[in-house]
Chain A
């Protein structure tokens, strides 16, 4: 009982040291659990969402899914569902792009209703609408909405509003950030289709690997293309985001934990060493070694236990919620929950147990000595005068430096811990600032070094060439064509983008290090990232086709370029036409700041907007960087304080 009072009063008297131990344990566990909880949350929430709504394992696209093809596919798939997916324009002032899914069932990639009633397959009057779009356009259940596609306009009543596992990420045609006012999706019954329905997408579930399924598919059916789940734009984008967070989450918190462990070890050893005489007295009056060791073990135990529990509770409660608002702006999930993993409790427990162990070692070393020795101050370690002390330089060194040098030499372990602790914190700071610099560098690379236009006018899909040409002349700009393509080399496929330039100097080219390169009109250049992943280089032949077209183009790579954002092929209009493809402009770029509206222009993006979108997009990573910098500085202060105050 008296020893417990002693411990509490010792803690009170040495509160700064114990608070710093508490803080170290808290910071280590808080950062670890918080950051891990963030990406575990993303993983668990998205996985649950995919599982609950039975996300398709693959999507088979064709102009028409025939009964014959369906029969064949059903032989090697476990389930399938036909859909007609069409692009439509919503009847709103901003002509939003709405992807309509006419479904004959709702068992694969199910629409997840947030408001209103569940999907009724026989209901031909209703539509189940994208919640993000509905919110952006202030639409509610019971409102009517009309869509135009292929020259037909249909009007339906909104029966439900919700989410789809296929639209966690929705790519925007005009910007790297989705603008939910301009795009969305809707699910309708196949009965709602005004004419004879011909399905163009088959959603499939299968037990085998995606490779095996694709092999079976190629052998049995002719289809335009097959997209496996991992390559689906929504899934892959979200996975990529998660893996970025996971990468940061895997490395940084571990450094935090290691630095915490090491400094805890030194701090506890020193605190107990400071109590040496009292340990001697306790032994002299007849306390058992076990009681003394238990008493000193409790010194580290309580602050570390308190810090670890607080970190365990507050980390997952605070850190994920700093990220989720930014994330939820870009991704659509019905709920955002911090994740939990047993590793949180294990790491916290290891932290607490190791504090006990460290205290045990420190107290045991002292209590092992006989009481007579313990009551005397510990004799300083003897250190030999090494090379430095016998050199001429030594006599010129000041007294303070000699003192510090000899102290460090006598207390090698503590000196090492100080170096490792500070090194860990500095490494965290350098990495965090480095990440910050990388993000800034990528932004400068994309929007200053490569793009020199001020405005990008996105052309309406049905716009005539003459209209486009007249706008181009009006804004004194250049037309470009951008399309999604698939690139194939010896069976390996990659999805990328095609950029066709029509005599413009508003887009420059760089190599993978950002150095300027020139691409001539006869060049076909592949981005370095795709070239590396397909293991091809200049002189190699690749095959590619525009997604949605079955015309494959075979060509030789004549250059390799670097780009931070879009990966794929860059070529001139002439080279495109040489490959028997038509140049269909998708955008007009100009150095003018265009503000006026044109009929054939869907939207206009300025460079400033693009840069702002980039900042938004990298917001969650930058948030992570800021958090890491904050905690690294705090940890460094605590470590230096502890190691300094105890010398």
Chain B
């Protein structure tokens, strides 16, 4: 597998008045194409910051972020928008669906962004929601909303799926279903899936586990035989 993502000495600092908070301190790692990666760490460790930098939602203060050979850290606003549109599918803890659009409309919203022929119903079917296509987010359960969110993310066929605590707002049973779906995306469609979580159990299912603490890499480990999500001891 070729390297898709490379973080080299990435630093992210936030300024608040005279104070400077270093949220990411010389972080370096690589992620291969099609890998199922879990980024673990306690609250405030810098997991979401890492995901934001990787997804082009925020810019690094220092260091290099290379994705598919492109230096993301040098992108201007328009290039970052383009990068997010074509390369990144986001899955958020609280789903962040557009509340006034139905499930299928939330998926087909991506038609405005990428030059890909999207069949919203077909994508929803792939996440098991073909019967809920015309329902609004408020009419769906948390798990169903998260599946719409996944459908929206994969509809534009991104290079990677970035998932920020995707099961954080779900009960464990639904959480397993979602994680299973994400693992399938990685295994069956060779999509690079990166999940940020504080739930250490998930580490056993990952191809690669990046442990992060206080804005620094604590450990990077590779599972030679990752377990299936459904086989984990929840």
| A interface residues with partner B (beta carbon < 8 Å) | 1-3, 5-6, 9-10, 13, 277-278, 280-289, 291, 370-373, 375
Contacts and interface: CB of A to CB of B under 8 A. Distances in A.
B96 A281 contact: yes
B100 A287 contact: no
A364 to B, nearest CB: 13
A373 B15 CA distance: 13
B81 A288 contact: yes
A13 B58 contact: no
Contacts of B152: 285
A372 B96 CA distance: 13
Interface in B77-124: 77-78, 81-82, 84-86, 88, 90, 92, 96, 98-101, 105, 108-114
Given A13-B100, A284-B57, A2 B108 contact: yes
A132 B96 CA distance: 73
A9 B99 CA distance: 10
Contact of A286 (B77, B96, B113): B113
Given A9-B100, A372-B52, 8 more contacts: A6-B98, A280-B96, A283-B81, A285-B113, A287-B81, A287-B112, A288-B78, A372-B57
B68 to A, nearest CB: 16
A286 B86 CA distance: 8
Q: Chain B, interface size: which category?
A: 20 to 34
A280 B98 CA distance: 11
A93 B52 CA distance: 98
Interface string B56-87: 11110000000000000000011001101110
A372 B113 contact: no
Nearest to B84: A286
A277 B84 CA distance: 17
Interface in B184-214: none
B114 A286 contact: yes
Contacts of B41: none
Contacts of B98: 6, 278, 281-282
A372 B48 CA distance: 9
Of A288, A370, A372, most B-chain CB atoms within 10 Å? A372
B34 interface: no
Contact of B113 (A281, A287, A375): A287
B175 interface: no
Contact of B84 (A13, A278, A285, A375): A285
A438 to B, nearest CB: 52
Given A370-B57, A372-B52, A284 B101 contact: no
Contacts, number: 76
A494 B184 CA distance: 99
Given A277-B96, A289-B77, A371 B57 contact: yes
B46 interface: no
Nearest to A12: B100
A1 B90 CA distance: 22
A3 B113 CA distance: 12
B55 interface: yes
B169 to A, nearest CB: 15
Contacts of B81: 283, 286-289
B21 to A, nearest CB: 14
Contacts of A288: 78, 81
Contacts of B58: 370-373
Contacts of B78: 288
A285 B57 contact: no
Contacts of A286: 81-82, 84-86, 88, 110, 113-114, 156
Contacts of B101: 2, 5-6, 9
Contacts of A371: 56-58, 84
Contacts of B86: 286
Contacts of B96: 277, 280-281, 284, 375
Of all A-B residue pairs in the complex, the 5 with the closest CB atoms, nearest first, are A286-B85, A9-B100, A372-B57, A371-B57, A372-B58
A373 B82 CA distance: 19
30 contacts: A2-B105, A2-B108, A2-B111, A2-B112, A3-B112, A5-B101, A6-B98, A6-B101, A9-B100, A10-B100, A13-B100, A277-B96, A278-B98, A281-B92, A281-B96, A283-B57, A283-B81, A284-B90, A284-B96, A285-B90, A285-B113, A286-B85, A286-B86, A286-B114, A286-B156, A287-B112, A370-B58, A371-B57, A372-B52, A375-B57
Nearest to A10: B100
B39 to A, nearest CB: 16
A278 B52 CA distance: 17
